[in-house]
Structure formats: C-alpha cells, structure tokens
Structure 1
Amino acid sequence: MKIFFRLLLIIVCFSNLVQAQTGAEIGREHLLIDTGWRFALGHPFDTQKDFQNGTGYFSYLAKTGYGDGAAAASFDDRSWRKLNLPHDWAVEQPFNEKASFSHGFKAIGRNFPDASVGWYRKSVFIPKGDLGRKMSIAFDGVFRNSIVWVNGHYLGNEPGGYLGFEYDITDYLNYGGENVIAVRVDVTMEEGWFYEGAGIYRHVWLNKNNPLHVVPNGTFVQSKVNGENASIAASVTLKNDALTIGEFNITQEIVDAGGKVVASAGIDRLSLKALQEQEFSTNITLNNPKLWDLEHPYLYQLITKINTRGQIVDTYKTSFGIRTIHFDANKGFFLNGKRVQIKGTNNHQDHAGLGVALPDELQYFRISKLKELGSNAYRCSHNPPTVELLEACDRLGMLVIDENRLMGINDQHLNDMKRLIIRDRNHPSIISWSICNEEWNIEGNITGARIATTMQAYVKTIDSSRAVTAAISGGIGNGISTVIDLLGYNYVATKNTDKQHQKFPAQLSWGTEEGSTVASRGLYVDNRPKNELAAYDVKQNDNFLSLEDGWKHYAARPYLAGMFIWTGFDYRGEPTPFGWPSVLSYFGMLDLCGFPKDSAWYLKSWWTEQPTVHILPHWNWPGEENQAKDVWVYSNCEEIELFLNKRSLGKKRMETNGHLSWTVKYTPGVLEAVGFKNGKKVQSDTVKTTGKPTQVSVIQEKIAIENPNIAILRLAVKDASGNRIPDAVNEINFEVNGPAKIIAVGNGNPTSLEADQFIEEIAVIKINNLQEKAISGINDLNEITKSTQDWQAAFSQDRTQDFGKKVKAIAYQGDFDLAEWNDQTKITFFYKSLGKEQSIYINGKKIASAISAAEKGNSFVLDRSVLKAGKNNITFLATPLLKVNSWDVVNADPGAFQLLTPPAKWKRKLFSGLAQVIVQKTAGKGEVSIKATGDGLKPAFFKIKL
C-alpha cells in the first residue's frame, strides 16, 4: 500500500510538472474579456450601500486575500445588472441642475453619492494548462480611482482615469477553475473640467505569457531615412519571470502591409537571470521604404520572436511607420521633408449617447469626419487617448499631439508621463508630446518654468525624436513660455506672437487652441433666454478671435506651424457662455453626433483643394416675408454669384481665407450660390423653402474600416417632394430586429435633456427581520403562517457541531417589501443556501421543496400570484449548516429579490432636422432591420448587414 501511494505521489507531481512546463512553453495570448460583466452602484461612504466592503475584521490592505463585501470571491452578484464593456454609467444618469456644470449636469459626483461609486465583477475560467505561464490583467482605462481584486486579493489602486494599468495575477489564480475579478470605481471627485464619464470605459485584457517574455509596450522602433534606404533601430525589453536563468535568441522581422517579410535581424546566445529585465537592440536596413504620410499612411509591422531551445516562446507585434518630422523656428512643420501647415482640431473623447464608452469603429468615423473638413492634426485634449484612437490616426493619416494629464516633477507625475510615452511612442501619427495645458497658477512664473524644464528634459530621456510642447493661455514672455521648445499659443487675441518670435527667434511655435467660436447647429438667430446661438462665425468676446480671423493670423505667419481649432467636435460639459439647461459645449465645428455646423465648410473651403460652396442660413422663415436675412457663403471659388428664385443678387469676389455675405429679404423659394473659377461655374449650393414633414428618412454613415460591428444612422424627415426639412423637431421612435441592438441616440442639441440611454431598470430587494426557531424537520409546516413573537434573531447562536446535535431542523422567517409593479417586470429570487437541505415558502405558498445546498445558489422566477404589493412573508425550513472548524463562516444571507423592468423604447427628437442612432452587432453575421417612426409620418424601413 505504501508503494502504491508513493507511486501515486510521483505521478501527481510529474503531472503537475508537465502542466507547468506545458504552460510555460505556450506563447503569448492577448484575450479581450469585455463580455459578461456584472455591475451595480455602490456608495462612497455608506457601507450598507457599498456592499459592506472594507468592514471585515482583517483589512485587504493588511492581510492578503481579505477582500470583503463585493470584493470577495464568494460574493453573490447574481442580482446585479449584466453588461459588456466598455461601459460609462455616467451617461445613463439623468440630468440635474445641481450637478456639475463642467461635466454636463449628469447626476454624479459629490452631490449624488448614490451614483458616484460603481462595482464591476466578472468570473473567468483559467485552464490548468496555464499553470507555469505569466498571467496578468490589463485595463486600458477606468474613470476613476479604481481598486482591483482577483479572488479577494487586493491588486492595487489607480487614481487617474486615463492611463492604462496592468496587474500580475499569476500566483493568485485558481488553475482549472473560476476566478473572480472585482473592480470598485469612484467618481466622487472630478479630474478635469469637462465630461469624463464613469466606469470601465476602455477595454480589459487577460494576458498570458511565457515566463520569458516581452514586457508590456516593450518595443521601440525608430527610423532614419537615408536616401533610398531606411535604418531601423528596434529595441525590445525582455523580462525573465522564471526562477531560473533563461537562455534565448531574438529575431526581429519587418513585415510590409501585404504580410511579406522585407528585412530582418537577430541576436543569439543571450541570457537573463531569474526575475531580471533588460533591453536589447537590433539595427535593420530596409531598402526603398514606403513612407508614412497624410495621403498614404503606410504601416509596417515589426515582429519580435523569442526563441528558447529551438522553440518560439513569445511573439510580439509592433505596428510602425517610417517618416521624418521636424519643426523649424521660421518655417513651421515638415513631414518627410515637405512643409505641412498644421490644420488641427482639439477634441475630448465623448460622443452622443455613449459618453466616453466608444466602440473602436467610432474612432475611425470621428477621424474621417475631421479629415473631410480638411483637418490633418488632432490634439488629445487634455489627457492620454485610447489606443484605438491612435490606431485610427495611424491608419487614416492624422497627425497627433499626445497630451499629459497632470503637470509635476515627483515620481508619480513623471512616471505617468513615462507610461504615456512608452505606450504610444511607436505611433507614427504622433508628432509632439504635450506636458501641460493652461496651468494658470504657474505658467507665467519661475515655478512653472522650473517644472516645465524638468519635465521636458525627462521626456527627452524616453523619446528625443519628437518636440515637446506646452499650451499657454495666459501671458507669454515669462514662465513656461521662455523654456519650452515648442510653444503652444492658446488664443492669440490676447498675445503678440510676432513679439515673442522676435524675442525668442529659435523657439518653435504653433497654435494649440484657437477660434473658440460658439454656435448652435442649424440655428441662425440668437435667442439667449433659450440658450441658442446663431451659427455665424462671430467671436465670443475680445479675448477670442473668430474662426476666420484666427486662421488668417496663422496662415499669414510661416514661423507658426499651424493651429488647432477649439474644437473639432462638441462635447459634454463646459456649455460656454451658458449654464443650465445647456449640457453640451457650443465650440465644435461638428456637433456631438458629428453633424457639421456651418463653420465646418469655412474650414473645408480653405483647408482642402476640393471645390466647395456652402450657403447659410436655411430658407424656412414662415411669417417673416420681406424681412432682411444675413446670407453667408463659404467657398474657395474665385467668385460667387447669388440667386433668389433664379434672379441674380450680384456676383462678388472671394477673399483668400474669407467668406462672402449678402443681406437678402426673405421670399420663399430657392436661394442658390454659384461658384466660379476662371469664369466657369465649378460648384453650387442651394437652400430651399420646404413643405410640411411627411416621411422619415434614414441614411447610413460611412465608417473607414472593414467589417465594422456598428452602424451609424442619420435620421431626418422629408416633405412630399423629398426635400430634407432643416428645422424639423419631430420625435422619432426606433425599433431593431436581427442580431443587433441600439446602443446610443443623439441629436447634437446643447439644451436637450432627453435620455441618452434606454436601459433596463433593476431594483434589488433585501429580506428584513430574519428570525429563527427550532422545528422537528423540514416538513414541519406548523410555523409557516404563525406569529414570530416567540422566535429569536436569526443566527444569534453559533453554528457549531454541538448546535447541530441539539437542533436537527430550523425555520427562518423574514419579510420584504414590494412596490407595485407592471406586467413587464420580471421578479427573480436569488437564493443563497441557509441549510444542507431546505424548503422555501412565500406568503405560505411553496417555492421549493427539499432542495440541497447549492454552492452557487438557486434562482426562482416568481409568478405574480405568489406576491403582493406591500409586505410579503418568506419562510425557509432547513437542516442547519454547521461549522467544521471554529474559524469557518456559515452563510447567514438568504439572498435577494431582483425586479427587472425592460427598457423603454428608444426615441429622440430631431434637432435642426437631424438625429443619430448607433446600432451594434450582438451575435453572428446577419441582416438587421431598422424601423423609424414618427407621429403622422410615413415610417422608414432600413436594412443593414453586420
């Protein structure tokens, strides 16, 4: 027998060793784990509402594995809402006048503690074969102040909302079983002065690696173009997480866009000691490289392979582009040796209906919209962006300022800057690192100059290939503006750029914010009591230039590399010059949906070579016949002739970077602007007086990516002649059939307080006043309907083995309150076993009979006949659960009732004739049908394939 057990022990140990070795030999896996999460709102200070987290005898900060409440692996989250990531719970909240002005009056933050903490939980199965691999969980971005646990083990806290972070979970995992991830997110305190959202709003990944592997963001590809060749310096940082020395070879291959290996290099006979990390470099010559530029953004891929004993144990892929960039103090910016005038926009990261939880494809849509108006540069205002945004800029040809969130020189500040650069430095689109924006308290004094000098020098130790900039909105000629390499002007109406250039002739410069015009899309009369601003390009006040005057300033000065408009898209919050009920900004060239305002055509006229003519306003002014209207035309044509009902109102010559205007008395009909070059008509635009709305119209927007998982639909109404009605405000309802769902609606109206999201409502009802009484057996029904006056508080006696000898069965009784519910409501009781065996009765009616204890609990969908509005009674007849060891914890929570009400139907009012619906694929490929209806209108039926 002893020999048998020894052999069995040897077999088990050998099996575990094989499993460990097998796991170690498998290469890299980067697995998206966005689906199947549970979510519930917690509370910043009320422990009852925060699921008792942080109340245990041992703190998770003091004892390993003591995550408690919702952080515990055993916590029952079945009554929580199911959802997929990315997720922004702020956009789901109602608007409230007492909420933050800068965050779009969404009811979160200090005044709304019940909606300011969110919990996420997910269970992940880890195969036994992964034993021996290096395992980690990576979050691309969580807003904000997140704490993460795995299986109750505290991993760490990330206070910032914009940088990604990753935790090693190798030694905490249950291999061959389920593993619980818990995340607590707290948005009580704002980080910026613009809408930032709430929750896990970027992707989450499970990373599995060989112990010898490339570290996260562990490659850096730098190129130099020498005539017809390019010299590629490719560095890679490896770590050996094994407890023994690792010997290996490195091979690095450059692959072109077609997948062909075009150059390679390698290093042999390398080694790393246990737990050692080191950088290695190769130099690769690439003949006749294709350069990355704005028109042809060609991308290569560096494939790094780590070979141990003839086996590839890690493969790491890095996308990169080959291009040259430099700034000249007198001539501006050069890409691949050619001067490129920066035509940029500033942008925050939210979109209509979605908040900050954007599907990846939407980044391509937004960048494409900016390129359509001639923009070639994007400033990430004012924080590190998503990786997907930078990938879209790489692939579509858009230059980028990548911006740091918080200025400072201590380890945390500098490390955050380093994390940003290390993550993003291989993107060819990035041409500058920004260390700060509008640091009013220090930007004009010696403190600011010192901090900027330190940060700038630090940035160059990580990446010296790009210019370092800072955006200055206050005075210039002192402080940060005297030490920064690339000075960013925010609003030159209050600054003399010529004087600064004369004083600092070697300093590089550009406009990091300019324009700052405010307008409501499609409205042409100021109505300040209603928070409406006419969409003519007029400066806000003397501290700002109009869009046109701003561009003229930069276009006339070659030493200024160009400028970035504030802003490309509207965004939530900062509704200058108004407050409540405005919830969006008015600054955008495009509104929050991406619908262009009239100013977008000014940029298109002078930022592109495409013949452009655009006329404003619309021509629907009933009751205002013969009243004078300001008619503007944006165009890059040499001359414009204006016609009203085919009668010429005169021809005018267009000023470079300007616009034309007429005063026209309103007469219903057709207003047409005709553009001429060299005396020939090349382009025209019309606005028409339309009739009453008769039908709904749906148009699918283009997304510059193959096989997108979303569809973006533009909604409008038309008259009987098929003309789109530009001032329509009809409410449109939406239905979707097929493998897809609606994920967002919007209309770009800055004062709209309509719901952004239509989600299911979940109420969780706890059982109160739980009491107990010993009974003869679980079939003893005598106590079900009796008074509990002679009962005692449940679990007042310790559930020891001695208790079990005295009490063979026990009855528990409690109550719960239900508000009135409708026929749509689904009520589920999620039961957690109170006994080894038990029967359950609600209001005297049997729900379950003699069911055994279930580790994951039981669930019962309840019929209305069992329940009543008001107080309900629940009884459990059970054989008691007992402790085996004195430190065991016996479950004393019977569970909870979930009341789930399906979401209301999606709808949105048109604003200035338009609304937007975003549809996302939910399953495999298939045809999706969309129905859009409105009162008194012919519905629109639209089919798409996802």
Structure 2
Amino acid sequence: MRIAALFAVCLASAAIAGERRLLDSGWRFHQGDVSGAEGLEFDDRAWRRVDLPHDWSVESSPTKDAMSEGGGGYHIAGVGWYRRELPLEASKLRPQPPSAVIRLEFEGVYRNSEVWFNGRPLGKHAYGYTPFSFDVTDRVRFDRPNVIAVRVDNSGQPNSRWHSGSGIYRHIWLRTSSEVTVPADSLWVRTKELRTESAAVEVAYDIDNATERDLDLLAHVTLRDTSGAIVAETTERMVSAAGERAPQVIGFEVASPQAWSIETPTFYAAQIDLLAVSEHGEQVLIDSVSQRCGLRTISIDPQQGLLLNGERVVLFGGNVHHDHGPLGAASFDDAERRRVRLLKAAGFNAVRTSHNPPSEAFLDACDERGMLVLDEAFDSWRKPKLKHDYSEDFDAHWREDLAAMVLRDRRHASVFAWSIGNEMFERGDAYAVELSKEMAALIRDLDQTRPVTVGVNGLGSRSWSDLDALFAPLDMAGYNYAPEQYALDHERLPGRVMMGTESYADEAFVHWHETTTRPWVVGDFVWTAIDYLGEAGLGRVFPPGQPPKKPWEADMWPWRGAVCGDIDLLGHRKPVSHYRQIVWDRGAKLHAAVEPPHEGDWGLTPWSVEPSEESWTWEVEEGTPLNVVVSSRWPKVRVLLNGKSVGEAVTTEAEEFRATIAVPYEPGELIVVGLKEEGAEAERFSLRTANTPRAIRLTPDRTDAIADRQSLVFIDADVVDDHGVVHPLADRVVRFKVEGPATIQAVGNVDLTNHGVYAGNSFSTYRGRAQVIVRSSGKPGAVKVTAEAEGVPPATIQLEFAPPSAPR
C-alpha cells in the first residue's frame, strides 16, 4: 500500500470523492470472430464505429434458418468484438494516483463476455443479465491511450426463449475511488418502522480498506429531504482493519417522514463522507458517496395481503421482457423511462422482470414513477429448457449472479420482492427444494426487508400439493395460470401468501375477481404487458378454419415476436389493455373496439384474445353487421351511428363489464355512450371513418431531449386524413431523414411478420402507423426530421437538443 502518500494526496486534492464516467461512446465493432483482436497493437481502423448500448442482433433482417430459432425471433447471434481507446490523465482523475483505485464496470453484456485491458486478460462473465467489474488500477497507463477489448460470444444457440440481443447492450463505466472507500453497491437505506410522526431508518454501508494499515476513520452520515435540508445526521468513529471490507450500520429517527409510495414516489438522499484521522488528529476527506432512497415498508400476511407503508396494495401487474421493439435489447435510459410511462398510463402499478434482472435505468424509472417491481433472477436452473441456456452456467455461477442482482437492486424502493426463478423444469424434483432453501438463504443474508418468491405453473398431472416443499422456504408462492388453485390451496395451507405471477390475457375478469376477493392473493401479473421480440408467434390469432398452434408446437416463421401484450411493439395500447384497466377499475371507464369481419371461429391459443381494432374504417358493403365490443364500468351503454341509436346493452359485473353489439356498417361516426343507473349520459367514446389519406402526422414522445449521445426521441408517423384520423387501410413505405446533430437509431412498425431492418431509415406503416427513433449525436442544436411517403406531402417536425447542463 502507498500509505505514506495517502494523507499527502488527500490534502493536496480539493475534490477527493470518487467519480463514475460513462464509456459508451467511441467504440469500434466487428461482427464475427477475429484472431488476435485482444492485442494492444491490433489494427481496428476498418471496424465499424458504434456507440453503446448496442445490440447487433437487430441490425439485419430475421432469417428462417437463424440458429436463434423462433425463441430468439430468428435474429442473428454469433460472436462480436468491441474495442475502444481510453486516454487518461492522472491530474484529472478523482482521486488522483497513487491513491486512486480504478475499475471498469459493465452493466450487462449478452453473452459469455471476455475482457482485456491493454492486451492483458481481465476475466470472463457468462450470464448476460448481471453486472460485473474489474480492477484495472495496476494496468492503467497515462503516457498513451489505454485499450479495452471485449469479445462477446452468443454463438451457443438457441439459448433464450425470447430476444436476448447480442453485444454490449447496457452501459459501461469507469469508476475511480480511494483505496479506502465506501463501495457503491454497499450503501442502502432501509426503513425499519414508518409512522406519521417519525420513521426508524438504518443506513447500511461497507468500508473497504485496501491499504496495509489499520486506519482511524470518521463516517459522517446525513439524510436530506427533497429540498436538500438535513433531516438526520450523525458521525461515527471506527478503526478500519488493513485489507478488510467491514459492514457498518447507523440508525436514525426521521421526523414527519415523507413516505415513498405508488402515488407519491418521494425521495431522500443519504450521504456518507469518510474521513481519515491522522496521528495528530487531522481529518482528511477520503471518500464521499451519496444515493437517493425512498422511505417505505413492505410486509405480507394472509389476512391482509401485501402492505406498503401499512396499507394494503393489490398488484395490477404485467410481465415485461427487456427488449424495446425496434431498438432490440439496447438499454437506453430514455427507452426505459418511456416504458415505465407507458405502463403507468395503462393502469399498471407493478411489473415482473421476466425472467431476468433488468437494467438499472429501468429500476430508476420505476422508483421515479412509483411502479412496484418483482425482480426475477433466472428462467432456468440446472435442467435446460433450451440446448445452450443458463443451465450450462447455473452450477458454476448462480450464487454470484443472484448476489449481484440483490446487491445492485436492494437500494431501489420500487423493488418489493425477489423471484428466484420461473417454471424451472426441476420444480417437482427433490433437489429443487434444496436449491429453493439455498437461494432464499443467500438473499436473506443480503436483504431481510423483502419477501422471496418463485413463479411456477404446476406439475402437469401431479397435484399442486407436490410443490409445497418447493414453496416452503419462501415467503410467497407464485402461481402461473392457476387462479382455480387459490381457494383450494388456501384451505389446505391458510398461512400461505399467493400471487398470480402469470395470467392469460383473456382472463382479466377471472383474475380480478380471484385477486380482489381473496386477501391472501396479493395481485396478478398478466402475460404480457408489452409485445416483445422472440418467442415468435405467441398470442397470434389463426384465421377461422386454421388449427391454432403454440410456438413450441410449430415453426412460427415468418413471425419474429410475440403479440400477447396489452401494449404493442411501438407503445400503443390495444383494446385488451383498455378492457383490463376497466375491469380492475384503474381509472378508465369506457372503451370500444370492432371485430374484423369474419366467418367461423378464430383460432385461439390460451395467450390469444379475439381480434378487435379501434377503428370504424372497413372494406365491407354498407349494412354488413360488425360486432362492436364495448368495455364499460358504467351499468349500461348505448351505441349511436351517425347520430342514430342502434342498440343498448347492460355492462355490469354480471356481464364482466363487457357487451357485444352488432352494428350495420355505414361510414361516419360511431359513438358509444356510458349511462348511469338512472339512464343519464356519463361519458362518450367515438370512432370515425377515415377519408382519403392526406398527410403524415409526426408526433414526438417528448420535447426535452438532451445533447448527450444517449437521448432518444420516439416519433410516431401516422398516415391520416384531413381530420387527423389514422387510416388503417392505406399502408405505404415511409422514408425518414434527419438534419442536424442527431441520427436515426431505429425504425419499425407493430407487424411482427414484417422483416424490415430496424436499423434502417425507412419502414412501411402497418394499419397506418410506423415509428422512427432519433438519437442525439452529442451536440446541442435544432434537429429537423422529415418523413416522405407516396401519395402524401412530406411532413417535418423540429426538435431541439439542449446542452447537457440544462435540466432534464
């Protein structure tokens, strides 16, 4: 240890606290394996320049013979290399050498990554969804640029039941800290007791002393409210043993606490200033770490269900895979924030991260929006579901991967429970019980504040009671597609707390009823909240007369994704989403959609719903009866067509808040009226027939973009008539052009049989809609986006990318 220099360096530095620097820009990428690419002098000038996050699997069209098969959306995989130069100036590091410890931190690489620094190997990481890091302190050079090389091997296929993506799809950071530090993953705030007048809070953290001496230290701990005012503080003195990492806990009482909740996700900020005390009593700041936190309590019991801050919460949840449609698996912070906004707008208050740990940005967004999270670790354990899935790495790595998830995510107020797996093939085997015990014990060693669960789907012909031993070490039992078991199992095991970890989309009413009438069932998570790439064809509707097939029963080509979501691939809500929100009484009270004209019964699988469209534009003869499906929390509804009443129906709980009314087709305006008990009009919902397409309407999802090479703007491109009605029968190719400091990151539509390249600059509309995603190139200024299509004039919008110093 360079202890002689420790105090001198600290005293000479005005800013000793550590830093974290994003390393996402300036990479070179090569798809395919290359001999010697880890070498320091390797010539990579011919490689393609890319900025992270990056998913090479969606940069080309799917192919029927792709090794990823339908589970991976028929996208390419294989091997890829990344290289980047990293100039470092010792004088600009915080803290400065020789006391600086320098680490490379990877948030997620899919899959089997191997990392070199200046030509020397750092190590490997197998699992594609957990963070990992390497100490590069002794390998850094300051006289010339450093070189990072990363090999990503996703060639073992198939290995995922959904689109995993390929590459460095989450962020990379360079972290500098002192040799005596509070590791970032060790700091977290837990609320022991929460009352109106006060809260009992513990600040837990570690002190890592990498020096060769015992040190006399002071830890000054503060907690600040949203205004920045200190609401609690204390100073602890301790001796830190040489070469040891020791846990610390400091307790606080916080007066008049502002609780974090779904409705009001309020934050505090905890900060630890670590000071070294010299033999002469001098105090020198050697590290400063801060973290936002939410004060809240979580508990469960079979009489009251899930309690958040002592109040019962019923989970209206959805399962979500990690891809972002045309972006693939690339985890941009803006895409994660947008996803949570969409979920909240659809009424969801909870999400299950099926079936892997999510990005940290997603959890940050859930914290900010008040979205509860069931954080899940694995899809498979020891028995494989696919030839090359996580089962290959399970025995060697499950402990470190499970710990990595908990250590990273326990600071998030939104995370209310941990899930150790999903539908594992060995769930009925004796050794699975031991694994359940081991996993639960590992989690509780790291976090005792949240319940542990697992999601399973029964044992076929065997009784659900055969799963009792698997559930016994856990706090909650997760039931996939088995609402009929809630009452039966409660009678046998009245102390069990249950949760619907997966449910079919067309069983919204059943799960609402079974959940809200049984306090021991804490909530339900539909499969799924959002359409996703991979698991090709799940949820598709087969035409009348064609036998329905599940993805594992047939080749689903040309499908590249699943359409079982409440929200489509571009972020638009489907009729089933509105129905579910109405059934669960989550705000909306009235909606209507129209079944496409057909003869015979649709071919449906359990994940399908009968098709319907939010449209009154159909290519049928006038007078053809069309079924209008009305969802309503009003007791009765009336349907008007061009001002004339054509029918009424009751839509109470007895009718499952839904009615179907046959309406003879006639172009114009269809209006559905929600009626109160006494018959008075309460609300209207209307659909209009689209006239001749006249324009492309460009609608950005936001206007507060930042020029930081990471910001995205999602722009819907809709073909509309002169009244602004989207025309669903006039699809055409839209070509996009961007002028100014931005680029096109992706384009796409919701048709998962379309094989267009998402990484292009044009895409056809589907039912009148497409989307372009624009990315900042790092410079502030105006950006002009133009869309051109045959038969309509070009459309333009102006965006403004503000300097990064501007408030976000």
Query: Where do 1:889-904 residues align within 5 Å?
Result: none
* Contact 1:472 1:481 (C-alpha < 8 Å) held by counterparts: no
Stretches of structure 1 lacking an aligned partner (at least 5 in a row): 1-13, 44-49, 53-68, 110-115, 518-536, 538-545, 759-905
Q: Aligned partners of 2:159, 2:186: CA distance in 1, in Å?
A: 29
**Change in 2 beyond 3 A, CA 1:659/1:238:** same
Bigger shift: 143-152 or 353-362?
Answer: 353-362
Which residue of structure 2 aligns with residue 900 of structure 1? none
Q: Aligned partners of 1:25, 1:590: CA distance in 2, in Å?
A: 47
User: In structure 2, the residue corresponding to 1:554 is in which secondary structure?
Assistant: helix
* Contact 2:24 2:52 (C-alpha < 8 Å) held by counterparts: yes
Which residue of structure 1 aligns with residue 138 of structure 2? 171
AA paired with 2:526?
Answer: I
* Contact 2:220 2:234 (C-alpha < 8 Å) held by counterparts: yes
Q: 1:23 Cα shift?
A: 7.7
Q: 1:583 aligns with which of 542, 560, 574?
A: 560
Which residue of structure 2 aligns with residue 792 of structure 1? none
Question: What per-residue deviation string (whole Å, max 9, x for no partner) do you get for residues 469-494 of structure 1?
Answer: 1001123211324543201110026x
Q: 2:446 aligns with which of 462, 469, 488?
A: 462
Indicate whether 1:142 and 2:131 are aligned.
no
* Contact 1:327 1:508 (C-alpha < 8 Å) held by counterparts: yes
Indicate whether 1:80 and 2:34 are aligned.
no
Which residue of structure 1 aligns with residue 513 of structure 2? 552
TM-score of the pair, normalised by structure 2 = 0.86
User: In structure 2, the residue corresponding to 1:136 is in which secondary structure?
Assistant: strand
Query: Where do 1:403-802 residues align within 5 Å?
Result: 403-405=376-378, 406-407=380-381, 412-440=397-425, 442-475=426-459, 476-479=464-467, 480-492=470-482, 495-515=484-504, 517=505, 537=506, 546-574=507-535, 575-576=537-538, 577=550, 579-617=556-594, 618-656=615-653, 657-678=656-677, 679-702=679-702, 709-758=711-760
* Contact 2:299 2:306 (C-alpha < 8 Å) held by counterparts: yes
Bigger shift: 560-569 or 920-929?
Answer: 920-929
Q: Aligned partners of 1:699, 1:943: CA distance in 2, in Å?
A: 11
* Contact 1:361 1:705 (C-alpha < 8 Å) held by counterparts: no
* Contact 1:554 1:563 (C-alpha < 8 Å) held by counterparts: yes
Q: Aligned partners of 2:800, 2:477: CA distance in 1, in Å?
A: 48
Q: 1:623 Cα shift?
A: 3.3
Which residue of structure 2 aligns with residue 351 of structure 1? 324
Q: 1:383 Cα shift?
A: 0.4
AA paired with 1:124?
Answer: L
User: In structure 1, the residue corresponding to 2:444 is in which secondary structure?
Assistant: helix
Q: 1:298 Cα shift?
A: 0.3
AA paired with 1:187?
Answer: N
**Change in 2 beyond 3 A, CA 1:611/1:573:** closer
Which residue of structure 2 aligns with residue 55 of structure 1? none
**Change in 2 beyond 3 A, CA 1:393/1:722:** closer
Size of the alignment, in residue pairs? 726
Which residue of structure 1 aligns with residue 605 of structure 2? none
AA paired with 1:506?
Answer: G
Query: Where do 1:826-837 residues align within 5 Å?
Result: none
Q: 1:434 Cα shift?
A: 0.2
Question: Once superposed, which parts of structure 1, at least 4 consecutive aligned residues long, lie more than 6 Å away?
Answer: 14-21, 703-708
User: In structure 1, the residue corresponding to 2:368 is in which secondary structure?
Assistant: helix
Indicate whether 1:156 and 2:123 are aligned.
yes
Indicate whether 1:312 and 2:285 are aligned.
yes
Q: 2:24 aligns with which of 15, 25, 34?
A: 34
Bigger shift: 128-137 or 497-506?
Answer: 128-137
Q: 1:118 Cα shift?
A: 0.7
Q: 1:336 Cα shift?
A: 1.4
Q: 1:271 Cα shift?
A: 2.6
Q: Aligned partners of 1:351, 1:292: CA distance in 2, in Å?
A: 28
* Contact 1:373 1:608 (C-alpha < 8 Å) held by counterparts: no
Q: 1:943 Cα shift?
A: 1.2
TM-score of the pair, normalised by structure 1 = 0.74
Q: 1:24 Cα shift?
A: 12
AA paired with 1:498?
Answer: A
Indicate whether 1:293 and 2:290 are aligned.
no
Q: Aligned partners of 1:485, 1:909: CA distance in 2, in Å?
A: 49
User: In structure 2, the residue corresponding to 1:181 is in which secondary structure?
Assistant: strand
User: In structure 2, the residue corresponding to 1:477 is in which secondary structure?
Assistant: helix
Q: 1:667 Cα shift?
A: 2.2
Q: Aligned partners of 1:939, 1:226: CA distance in 2, in Å?
A: 59
Q: Aligned partners of 2:724, 2:330: CA distance in 1, in Å?
A: 36
Q: 1:186 Cα shift?
A: 0.4
Question: What per-residue deviation string (whole Å, max 9, x for no partner) do you get for residues 673-714 of structure 1?
Answer: 011235332321112222221211111224899999221111
**Change in 2 beyond 3 A, CA 1:304/1:704:** farther
AA paired with 2:492?
Answer: K
* Contact 1:239 1:275 (C-alpha < 8 Å) held by counterparts: yes
Bigger shift: 495-504 or 136-145?
Answer: 495-504
* Contact 2:331 2:359 (C-alpha < 8 Å) held by counterparts: no
Q: 1:411 Cα shift?
A: 6.5
* Contact 1:711 1:920 (C-alpha < 8 Å) held by counterparts: yes
* Contact 2:651 2:657 (C-alpha < 8 Å) held by counterparts: yes
Stretches of structure 2 lacking an aligned partner (at least 5 in a row): 277-281, 383-393, 539-549, 595-614, 802-808
**Change in 2 beyond 3 A, CA 1:258/1:176:** farther
Which residue of structure 2 aligns with residue 230 of structure 1? 199
Indicate whether 1:274 and 2:242 are aligned.
yes
Query: Where do 1:333-412 residues align within 5 Å?
Result: 333-405=306-378, 406-407=380-381, 412=397
Q: 1:227 Cα shift?
A: 4.7
Q: Aligned partners of 2:647, 2:520: CA distance in 1, in Å?
A: 39
Q: Aligned partners of 2:204, 2:423: CA distance in 1, in Å?
A: 35
Q: Aligned partners of 2:778, 2:210: CA distance in 1, in Å?
A: 39
AA paired with 1:150?
Answer: F
Q: Aligned partners of 2:352, 2:665: CA distance in 1, in Å?
A: 41
Question: What per-residue deviation string (whole Å, max 9, x for no partner) do you get for residues 926-946 of structure 1?
Answer: 221111111010221111222
* Contact 1:245 1:272 (C-alpha < 8 Å) held by counterparts: yes
Instruction: Indicate the percent of aligned positions where both proteins have the same amino acid.
Output: 31
Q: Aligned partners of 2:8, 2:74: CA distance in 1, in Å?
A: 55
Q: Aligned partners of 1:705, 1:500: CA distance in 2, in Å?
A: 51
Indicate whether 1:322 and 2:288 are aligned.
no
Question: What per-residue deviation string (whole Å, max 9, x for no partner) do you get for residues 509-528 of structure 1?
Answer: 0100002x4xxxxxxxxxxx
User: In structure 2, the residue corresponding to 1:478 is in which secondary structure?
Assistant: helix
AA paired with 2:534?
Answer: G
Which residue of structure 1 aligns with residue 65 of structure 2? 98
Q: Aligned partners of 1:143, 1:500: CA distance in 2, in Å?
A: 39
Query: Where do 1:118-267 residues align within 5 Å?
Result: 118-129=80-91, 130-132=96-98, 133-189=100-156, 190-223=158-191, 224-267=193-236
* Contact 2:512 2:583 (C-alpha < 8 Å) held by counterparts: no
Which residue of structure 2 aligns with residue 920 of structure 1? 775
**Change in 2 beyond 3 A, CA 1:15/1:383:** closer
Q: Aligned partners of 1:187, 1:122: CA distance in 2, in Å?
A: 20
AA paired with 1:131?
Answer: P
AA paired with 2:376?
Answer: E
AA paired with 2:451?
Answer: A
Question: What per-residue deviation string (whole Å, max 9, x for no partner) do you get for residues 179-203 of structure 1?
Answer: 1010000001254311000111111
User: In structure 1, the residue corresponding to 2:747 is in which secondary structure?
Assistant: strand
* Contact 2:341 2:369 (C-alpha < 8 Å) held by counterparts: yes
Bigger shift: 673-682 or 304-313?
Answer: 673-682
Bigger shift: 705-714 or 126-135?
Answer: 705-714
Question: What per-residue deviation string (whole Å, max 9, x for no partner) do you get for residues 777-809 of structure 1?
Answer: xxxxxxxxxxxxxxxxxxxxxxxxxxxxxxxxx
Q: Aligned partners of 2:295, 2:8: CA distance in 1, in Å?
A: 44
Bigger shift: 284-293 or 100-109?
Answer: 100-109
**Change in 2 beyond 3 A, CA 1:704/1:125:** closer
Q: 1:359 Cα shift?
A: 1.6
